[in-house]
Amino acid sequence: MSDDTRVITCLNDGNEASPCEGVVEFHPALPVRWHNSGAMVQFPRCAEHYMKYCDAHDERQARDSRHRASMYCKHGTYIGDAWGADYLCGECESE
């Protein structure tokens, strides 16, 4: 079989709750990753599922950004996170 006749199926094909829509193409993984050979890691997804995949990635990025911001007090001092040591900012302590 030549590469010209090969049919590419969406990675999420068969998901009854979210059927495929649009052209199936290879899209980069998010965050972008690379093989040892230097080629970009890509997966076949239809347009609809890739859009949902991108939206989920954006939500994860926003959640991680909020978490990183929560590790600093209003004065910009690192105060730790829920799973590590708790530090107290001198200015916050005196308020």
Torsion sign (Cα): 54, 55, 60, 63: positive
Domain assignment of residue 93, yes or no:
no
Domain count, the chain: 1
Domain assignment of residue 14, yes or no:
yes
Domain assignment of residue 61, yes or no:
yes
pTM: predicted TM-score of the whole model, two decimal places: 0.74
Q: Is 80 exceeded by the pLDDT of residue 49?
A: yes
Percentage of the chain with pLDDT > 90? 55
pLDDT at residue 1, rounded to an integer:
46
Domain assignment of residue 35, yes or no:
yes
No. of H helices and E strands in the chain?
Answer: 2, 2
16-45 pLDDT per residue, tens: 888 999 999 999 999 999 999 999 999 999
Domain assignment of residue 84, yes or no:
no
Domain assignment of residue 54, yes or no:
yes
Domain assignment of residue 82, yes or no:
no
Domain assignment of residue 80, yes or no:
no
Reported as a pLDDT band with limits 50, 70 and 90, residue 3 is low
For 28, the domain range is 3-68
